[in-house]
């Protein structure tokens, strides 16, 4: 996020590059930077003649270069934004000659999502010299909760760890989806609110009692009754609780538990850092570690792999409910 702030700060100061090549696996920040340039580099009077949005599927590199070489009309500069520029990946190297000598009165922005330039190629080196390259890297799941906390903190909100984890488990690591849900919450809730699991359930529709987070906790505690209640709920609401997601999250939990067993330093902060979880949840791993010795954890991971294959129709044709029930029985006994 510091890099984003620096980009925005430099643009506000008037230190604007002729080329912004925005690339990488996480589209959220690519869109944020592109939108900021689109909204702020030119004033409203200048945009009509001097701001152009193109789409990679509809244009060629030659079209982009031709437009970029034009001079602005009654303005200091023009802005050209190429969205979905990854559709031009087969011919992107044709941009080299322009990148070597870009038009100083043009701001060319290329949104190159889900891909990146080869750093060994000349084009990458040239754009890094004459313009600006930003790589938006995909966040790991254990980083997203902290991102949620920082975003909300900047807007004068707080969030409890469980509520944050519920969002991550329900929405994954898609920052755009998470951001949209946070925006909804902030429209409804006043500043200084500490967002908890009830807020998430009431306003986003994620059950605070029947979710993968609670299932993981019940399994770790070997709470057979609670675990069965949750999988019955999942079976009745398969659309909102896909089996593949449940298996994946349980697999992540037991993989972390395997790492936990191998740690020499089992202080709370060390465990949190080593296995990549919020310190708030570390006690669950101590309890699960007592319930599942290392050998059992290895067996559970094998059981989860078997269930994953069955969920995809390999080796058996069972309902989601039957696969979950069999899985839990084998894990908990």
95-115 pLDDT tens trace:
999 999 999 999 999 999 999
pTM: 0.76
SS (H, E, C) 283-301: HHHHHHHHHCCHHHHHHHH
Return the pLDDT at 240: 82
Q: Cα separation of 88 and 71, whole Å? A: 24
In 3D space, the residue among 48, 9, 44 whose CA is nearest the CA of residue 132 turns out to be 9
**pLDDT value at position 24?**
95
Cα–Cα distance between 198 and 182 in angstroms, integer?
Answer: 14
| pLDDT, tens digit only, all 333 positions of the chain | 678 889 999 999 999 999 999 999 999 999 999 999 999 999 999 999 999 999 999 999 999 999 999 999 999 999 999 999 999 999 999 999 999 999 999 999 999 999 999 999 999 999 999 999 999 999 888 889 999 999 999 999 999 999 998 999 888 888 999 999 999 999 999 999 999 999 999 998 888 899 988 999 999 999 999 999 999 999 888 888 889 889 999 999 999 999 999 999 999 999 999 998 888 899 999 999 999 999 999 999 999 999 999 888 886 678 888 899 999 999 998
Q: Confirm if 29 and 3 have CB atoms less than 8 A apart.
A: no
Contact 58, 170 (CB under 8 A): no
Q: Exposure of 291 by Cβ count < 10 A (0-12 exposed, 13-18 middle, 19+ buried)?
A: middle
Q: Could you identify the residue written with the tokens 């755009």?
A: 176
**What pLDDT does residue 237 have?**
86
Rg (alpha carbons) of the chain, rounded to whole number:
25
Q: Tokens for 75?
A: 């303005």
Q: Give the Cα separation of 190 and 244 in Å (integer).
A: 36
Q: How many whole angstroms separate alpha carbon 22 and alpha carbon 34?
A: 8
**Over the stretch 164-219, which tens digit does the pLDDT of each residue have?**
989 998 888 889 999 999 999 999 999 999 999 999 999 988 888 999 889 999 99
Question: Which two tokens mark 289?
Answer: 């570690």
CB-hemisphere CA count at 13 Å for 165? 20
Tokens of residue 307, six digits: 């269930």
Nearest partner of 19 among 4, 31, 37, judged by Cα: 37
Cα gap 327→242, rounded to integer Å: 15
The burial of 15, by beta-carbon neighbours within 10 Å (0-12 exposed, 13-18 middle, 19 or more buried), is given as: exposed
């Amino acid at each position: 996020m510091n890099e984003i702030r620096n980009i925005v700060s430099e643009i506000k100061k008037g230190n604007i590059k002729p080329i912004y090549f925005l690339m990488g696996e996480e589209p959220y920040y690519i869109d944020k930077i592109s939108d900021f340039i689109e909204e702020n580099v030119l004033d409203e009077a200048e945009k009509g003649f001097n701001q152009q949005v193109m789409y990679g599927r509809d244009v060629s590199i030659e079209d982009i270069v031709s437009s970029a070489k034009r001079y602005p009309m009654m303005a200091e500069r023009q802005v050209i934004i190429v969205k979905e520029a990854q559709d031009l990946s087969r011919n992107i190297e044709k941009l080299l000659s322009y990148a070597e000598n870009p038009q100083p009165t043009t701001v060319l922005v290329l949104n190159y999502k889900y891909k990146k330039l080869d750093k060994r190629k000349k084009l990458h080196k040239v754009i890094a010299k004459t313009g600006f390259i930003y790589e938006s890297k995909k966040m790991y799941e254990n980083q997203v909760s902290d991102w949620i906390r920082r975003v909300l903190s900047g807007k004068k909100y707080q969030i409890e760890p469980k509520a944050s984890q519920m969002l991550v488990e329900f929405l994954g690591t898609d920052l755009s989806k998470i951001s949209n849900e946070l925006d909804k919450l902030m429209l409804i809730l006043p500043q200084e609110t500490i967002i908890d699991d009830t807020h998430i359930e009431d306003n986003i529709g994620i059950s605070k009692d029947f979710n993968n987070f609670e299932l993981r906790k019940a399994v770790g505690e070997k709470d057979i009754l609670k675990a069965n209640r949750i999988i019955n709920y999942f079976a009745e609401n398969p659309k909102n609780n896909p089996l593949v997601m449940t298996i994946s999250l349980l697999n992540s939990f037991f993989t972390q538990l395997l790492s936990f067993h191998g740690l020499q330093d089992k202080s709370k902060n060390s465990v949190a850092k080593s296995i990549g979880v919020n310190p708030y949840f570390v006690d669950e791993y101590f309890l699960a570690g007592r319930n599942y010795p290392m050998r059992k954890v290895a067996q559970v991971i094998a059981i989860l792999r078997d269930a994953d294959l069955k969920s995809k129709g390999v080796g058996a044709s069972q309902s989601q409910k039957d696969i979950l029930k069999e899985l839990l029985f084998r894990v908990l006994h």
